[in-house]
């Protein structure tokens, strides 16, 4: 096969999905490393870059700075290959993972590539499967939906069919059935929390949940700072007025921190410290409980998410590429408190 034929196969086969807006998160590999491990690959990368730079020089004659900026090879010590740029050049399409994210890619880190290849940069918003996040994790809800839609479970593979539920939003019988299911899911989570943490949480409180990796941009810190503010406000209020002023809440925060991420671990420590104080304050009682949900993973998510009445997706606007747990909570009839970031924008 000639190089040109091979190139056409590659170009028409591959598309590249980008998952970040942070330039520092775009990988660059040293040519020294690639040359040692994958010498033939490095030869091909240099060849692709040669052909690509020839095209750039024709398009932007004399603009050496721009050509240097866009080159697949970053000069310096060590010399590096810009892997994201290589992916853009070799793919027929490039996509971000939510409308806002794709738009930011075009305006920021890939703006020059959007000019070079108009239409190549697109959006494909991330998604989750209703098989796992309704049908598998919340069977009573799955049954309610199927029964309401005339005993047909086609919605499991064609989620658009859920639009047929809209008239039932004001149907008393349907609402009662939904509430009973939510309560049963809360009961399951209540037992899980007791088993994993030893903490007793009341059933008749609002279940307010934030579960995701612990990261400063996701702002679990803002959540716990608000919880402290709420706790202080309760203490400020005379005992007999508290019931009228505050909706009882159980605030649950869960997620893992990367091993070397000291600030994320410090935030977990603050959450557990607040939890220990608030949960043992008899003055506050059931008005506020705070739980750190340990060892968050997909298995525990299947118990946690169906029980949520409120879920938090509160990252700083422009930082969360998509986020998908917002979709999982909504599928289980939970409401979102959130910022205009990632896929929240499309849900809102």
Partner 1 sequence: MFIFGERVDGVNRIRKELHEGKKDYIGGRLKRVFDTIRSGFFGDTQIVHGILDGLQNGFDHYITCFDFYSYIDAQNVVD
Looking at 126-134, 178-186, 194-202, 334-342, which segment touches partner 1 (CB under 8 A)?
Answer: 334-342
Q: Of residues 66, 124, 213, 256, which has the active-site annotation?
A: 213
Report the distance separating Cα 154 and Cα 158, nearest Å: 6
Nearer to partner 1, 10 or 228 (CB): 228
Residue 212 annotated to the active site: yes
Can you tell me which of 59, 266, 285, 295 binds partner 1, judged by CB under 8 A?
Answer: 266
- Nearest C-alpha neighbor of 274 from the set 253, 294, 255, 256: 253
Residue 20 annotated to the active site: no
The 275-294 site mask, x for binding partner 1 (CB under 8 A), equals -xx-----------------
Q: Of residues 106, 120, 186, 212, which has the active-site annotation?
A: 212
The 81-110 site mask, x for binding partner 1 (CB under 8 A), equals -------------------x---x------
Residue 41 annotated to the active site: no
- Nearest C-alpha neighbor of 336 from the set 316, 311, 317: 311
Total binding residues toward partner 1, as defined by CB under 8 A: 41
Report the distance separating Cα 166 and Cα 114, nearest Å: 40
The answer to whether 288 touches 312, Cβ cutoff 8 Å, is no
Q: Is residue 258 involved in binding partner 1 (CB under 8 A)?
A: no
CB of 249 to partner 1, least distance (A): 8
User: What letter would DSSP give residue 136?
Assistant: I
- Give burial (CB, 10 Å; 0-12/13-18/19+) of 196: middle
CB of 71 to partner 1, least distance (A): 28
The 147-186 site mask, x for binding partner 1 (CB under 8 A), equals ----------------------------------------
CB of 316 to partner 1, least distance (A): 4
The answer to whether 57 touches 106, Cβ cutoff 8 Å, is no
Report the distance separating Cα 268 and Cα 304, nearest Å: 18
Q: Of residues 80, 182, 328, 339, which has the active-site annotation?
A: 328
- The pair phi, psi for residue 104, each rounded to 5°, is -65, -35
Nearer to partner 1, 82 or 249 (CB): 249
3-state secondary structure of 195: helix
Report the distance separating Cα 175 and Cα 54, nearest Å: 65
Q: Catalogue the E-assigned strands of the chain.
A: 15-17, 28-30, 73-74, 80-82, 93-96, 121-123, 206-211, 249-254, 288-293, 310-313, 335-338
The answer to whether 178 touches 145, Cβ cutoff 8 Å, is no
Looking at 45-53, 85-93, 293-301, 313-321, which segment touches partner 1 (CB under 8 A)?
Answer: 313-321
Report the distance separating Cα 220 and Cα 288, nearest Å: 17
Alpha-carbon distance values, 334 to 131, 186, 322 (Å): 17, 12, 18
Residue 218 annotated to the active site: yes
Residue 316 annotated to the active site: no
Size of the chain, expressed as the number of residues it contains:
348
Q: Is residue 111 involved in binding partner 1 (CB under 8 A)?
A: no
Determine which helix (DSSP H) or strand (DSSP E) holds 291, and give its type and residue range. strand 288-293
Residue 106 annotated to the active site: no
The 223-252 site mask, x for binding partner 1 (CB under 8 A), equals --xx-xxx-x-------------xx-----
* Positions marked active-site: 19, 212-213, 218, 324, 328
In the complex, the residues that contact partner 1 under the rule CB under 8 A are: 100, 104, 206, 216-217, 219, 221-222, 225-226, 228-230, 232, 246-247, 263, 265-267, 269-270, 273-274, 276-277, 310, 314, 316-319, 335-340, 344, 347-348
């Amino acid at each position: 096969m000639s190089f040109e034929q091979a190139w056409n196969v590659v170009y028409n086969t591959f598309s590249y999905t980008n998952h970040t807006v942070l330039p520092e998160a775009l990988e660059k590999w040293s040519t020294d490393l690639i040359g040692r491990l994958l010498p033939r690959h490095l030869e091909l990368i240099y060849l692709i870059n040669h052909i690509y730079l020839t095209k750039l020089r024709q398009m932007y004659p004399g603009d050496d700075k721009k050509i240097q900026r866009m080159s697949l090879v970053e000069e310096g010590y060590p010399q590096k290959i810009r892997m994201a740029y290589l992916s853009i050049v070799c793919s027929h399409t490039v996509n971000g993972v939510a409308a806002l994210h794709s738009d930011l890619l075009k305006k920021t880190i890939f703006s020059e590539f959007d000019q070079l290849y108009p239409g190549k940069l697109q959006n494909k918003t991330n998604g989750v499967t209703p098989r796992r996040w309704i049908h598998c994790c919340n069977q009573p809800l799955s049954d309610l939906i199927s029964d309401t839609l005339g005993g047909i479970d086609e919605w499991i593979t064609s989620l658009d069919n859920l639009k047929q539920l809209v008239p039932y939003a004001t149907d008393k019988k349907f609402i009662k059935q939904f509430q009973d299911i939510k309560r049963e899911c809360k009961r399951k989570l209540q037992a899980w929390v007791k088993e994993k943490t030893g903490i007793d949480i009341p059933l008749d409180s609002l279940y307010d949940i934030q579960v995701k990796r612990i990261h400063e941009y996701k702002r679990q810190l803002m959540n716990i700072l608000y919880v402290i503010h709420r706790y202080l406000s309760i203490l400020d209020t005379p005992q007999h007025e508290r019931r009228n002023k505050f909706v009882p809440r159980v605030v649950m925060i869960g997620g893992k921190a990367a091993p070397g991420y000291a600030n994320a671990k410090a935030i977990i420590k603050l959450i557990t410290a607040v939890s220990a104080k608030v949960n043992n304050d008899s003055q506050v009682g059931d008005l506020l409980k705070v739980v750190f949900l340990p060892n968050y993973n997909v298995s525990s998510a299947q118990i946690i998410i169906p029980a949520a009445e409120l879920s938090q997706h509160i990252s700083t606007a422009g930082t969360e590429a998509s986020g998908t747990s917002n979709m999982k909570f909504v599928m289980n009839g939970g409401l979102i408190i959130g910022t205009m970031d990632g896929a929240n924008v499309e849900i809102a």
